Amino acid sequence: MKTSTTVWIALGSCLLTLIAVLVVLNLSSGEKKVEQRVEHLYATDDPQFRRVMGVLLGPQMLDGNQAEVLLNGDMIFPAMLGAIRGARRTITFETYIYWSESIGREFADALIERARSGVRVHVLLDWLGSAKMEARYLDEMKAAGIEIERFHEPRWWNLSRMNNRTHRKVLVVDGTVGFTGGVGIADKWRGNAQDKDHWRDTHFRVVGPVVAQMQAVFTDNWMKATGRVLHGGDYFPALERRGDAIAQMFSSSPSGGSESMHLMYLLAVTAAARSIHLSSSYFVPDDLMAHSLAAAARRGVDVRIIVPGPDIDTDIVRRASRARWGPLLEAGVKIAEYQPTMFHCKVLVVDALMLSVGSTNFDNRSFRLNDEANLNIIDAAFARQQIEIFERDFSQSKAVTLQAWQRRPWQEKALEHAASWFGAQL
């Protein structure tokens, strides 16, 4: 009897040890993180800034691109679906959120129709983000000839990577036109942010040489998920100059280069000489990033940030975010909460010249735990257009003053302090 009890105790101890190991592996990226402040050495209009961004982040910045901004589902979805329906050779599509609903049905139908017409269609969905997608959608897509995979679907051999999700949002059609931004495939992104049930978001459509880098970002995770390589002229055609914008598409992942996204934001914020306009759906900066934003404000940079207001899908994120605003507000950073609906934009504009859009949130999960991808663009005219959009959003937001933040009820302070303990996972 004692022997049996001892065996069960030993097995239980081994199981608890295994669970503890898996938890630790899932909560960390396994790579060293940037811990030292980046020194302000040059501005965004300095050629050295562009060289450094290319060298440190990986892909070089390419000239000859053109970008179009798409606001909310009424503009975003028709543009994406139109490109899909016009595909002649290939479609590669990676996204975090894909739910059934009406827009999910439209995308499935468009992809299926193209696959049946002979277009090679590859779809990569995050397993967790597509949990609300009905199995019949997957079956229908596969039956039509679509290659569809789910990123890090639970298997005994990948349990240590369960917390590593692909949050990337990349669509490339025929290797010539690319889309990226914050939108997911769900009905809450429909409409024009006209009420609480329709979210505010921004996406970009891009043509030019940088589309090849967008395709490379997709193939990076496609190879991880399938072991199959996509190449050749149908995926990577020769791309001609289409505009005057300098652009770069880069990615980050805990399996390699997890600090790339964090470093990009640090470089951009540190280089700022005049202004920083940040639209952030989930704003939970770590100490280093908060110090960098505050330092920019103290050296005279006009730093303005829009975050979600009371309408947010993850209340713990809002509380954790608010807990960290004190030093920023003291430094002169202007923070405002968007009021009409959920604010899901992820756009950074620096010095009305350089801008970044993509899947990345301003938090530790995006910087170190998720697979993310962002498009950086240097184009003064396009950046000014994004600032005009920012100003419209800012006018519909409620500014938070240091005094109001300091006078918030103690119950709120307690809840926000408690939520901030989970900051590394948000």
Burial of 147 (0-12, 13-18, 19+ CB in 10 A): middle
DSSP state of 200: B
> Which is the catalytic residue, given 152, 167, 198, 224?
167
User: Which tokens in the block code for residue 17?
Assistant: 């040890």
> Which is the catalytic residue, given 126, 174, 201, 379?
174
Helix (H, G, I), strand (E, B) or coil at 91: strand
Q: Is residue 346 annotated as a catalytic residue, yes or no?
A: yes
Using CA atoms, how far apart are residues 26 and 161, in angstroms rounded to an integer? 6
Helix (H, G, I), strand (E, B) or coil at 172: strand
Q: Which residues of the chain have pLDDT under 50?
A: 14, 17-29, 157, 159-160, 426
Q: Which residues of 90-113 are buried (b: 16+ CB within 10 A; e: fewer)?
A: bbbbbbbbbbbbebbebbbbbbbe
> Which is the catalytic residue, given 122, 126, 152, 169?
169
Q: Which domains does the chain have, with CATH numbers?
A: 30-425 (3.30.870.10)
Q: Is residue 122 annotated as a catalytic residue, yes or no?
A: no
> Which is the catalytic residue, given 344, 363, 371, 379?
344
Q: Is residue 231 annotated as a catalytic residue, yes or no?
A: no
> Which is the catalytic residue, given 126, 351, 371, 379?
351
Q: Is residue 169 annotated as a catalytic residue, yes or no?
A: yes
Helix (H, G, I), strand (E, B) or coil at 45: coil
Q: Is residue 196 annotated as a catalytic residue, yes or no?
A: no
> Which is the catalytic residue, given 188, 203, 262, 346?
346
Q: Is residue 167 annotated as a catalytic residue, yes or no?
A: yes
